[in-house]
Amino acid sequence: MKTGAQHFKPGKILDALGAMQNSLTRSAQRIAVYIQAEPSKVTQLSLAELSTLTQAGEATIIRFCRTLGYKGFQDFKMDLAIEVATRPDPEESLLDADVQDADSPQAIAGRLQSAINNVLTETINLLSLENVEQVVKLMRPADRICIFGLGSSGITAEDAKSKLMRIGLRVDAATNNHFMYMQASLMKPGDVAIGISHSGTSAETVHALKLAKEAGAATVALTHNVGSPITDMADYVLINGNKQGQLQGDSIGTKIAQLFVLDLIYALLVKADPVQAEQTKRKTTQAISQHGAR
């Protein structure tokens, strides 16, 4: 099940709109931008009024609502009203605030902590836990797991490889496009390929996932953008959050969101067979410790 087809419940709607921006038509983008900017106002508008304000046809708005899993505008508006009524007051929140010239180190630390909390909340809102569970089921018996990623996503891939190898999974990470293509082309049914691309548009990672899929492997995409090219190559899509201040770029928030999803997979793998995981981790840890002691 692709994440874009799921029904987004109250508390998750505005986060979902942010993740879908790049996959929407121009008319749908205008609708999404307006809803994000004026969610309270939208809950009071009629379909015709929203159509006028967004310069989008009524049928386009209804299709937009169905993209989010709703039957129509009224159902969507009802859940949006619940979200607006229960969300924190943005004026009392530092979640999206950037660092100011007058901020003390303690204030900056608090803002970064808030940004991290916010991006993790958004990730939980966007993430299909059903997809996560299915990915875990595929990974447990897999003969081979390959994780693909370039740049910052490559660092995430290497981190995941280290953790998963410690509990006995046969896993490798490829962060160079030539190695990605070679590994992907040699995969087979029963293997699992995971492509990490925050934008979802990394041509190299998308192509690697395509090669893996053609070779018969199960494919997984970890990205922020619903409907991006990498999701077309994935059997399972895992969406991570992205909310953060402008000065933070895509560093701390994106990185932690990606690591959070992969750590959740790791935790569920351990939970599935805790005795085996503990034994294997003890063995791999001992091997590293003995080597380091020499």
Instruction: Name every residue whose Cβ is closer than 8 Å to that of residue 58 and which is 6 or more positions away in sequence.
Output: 47, 48, 51
Dig out the tokens for 81 from the structure: 């009203």
Q: What are phi and psi of 46, to 5 degrees?
A: -85, 170
How does pLDDT run across 44-59, given as a tens digit for each residue? 999 999 999 999 999 9
Which of the residue ranges 101-115, 118-132, 151-165 would you say has the lowest mean pLDDT? Answer: 101-115
CA 253/CA 242 separation, integer angstroms:
6
Q: What are phi and psi of 233, to 5 degrees?
A: -95, 0
CA 221/CA 156 separation, integer angstroms:
13
- Hey, what amino acid is at 73? F
Query: What is the pLDDT at residue 220?
Result: 98
Domains in the chain, please, with CATH? Answer: 3-86 (1.10.10.10), 129-290 (3.40.50.10490)
Query: What is the pLDDT at residue 89?
Result: 54
The pTM score is 0.76
Backbone torsion region of residue 190, taken as left when φ is above 0, otherwise alpha when ψ lies between -120 and 50, otherwise beta: left
How does pLDDT run across 222-280, given as a tens digit for each residue? 998 888 899 999 999 999 987 544 444 456 778 889 999 999 999 999 999 888 888 88
The β-bridge relationship of strands 192-196 and 171-174 is unpaired
CA 71/CA 76 separation, integer angstroms:
8
> Cβ atoms within 10 A of the Cβ of 291, count?
8
Nearest to 139 by CA among 282, 262, 285: 262
CA 56/CA 144 separation, integer angstroms:
48
Instruction: Check whether 15 has a pLDDT greater than 60.
Output: yes
> Cβ atoms within 10 A of the Cβ of 51, count?
19
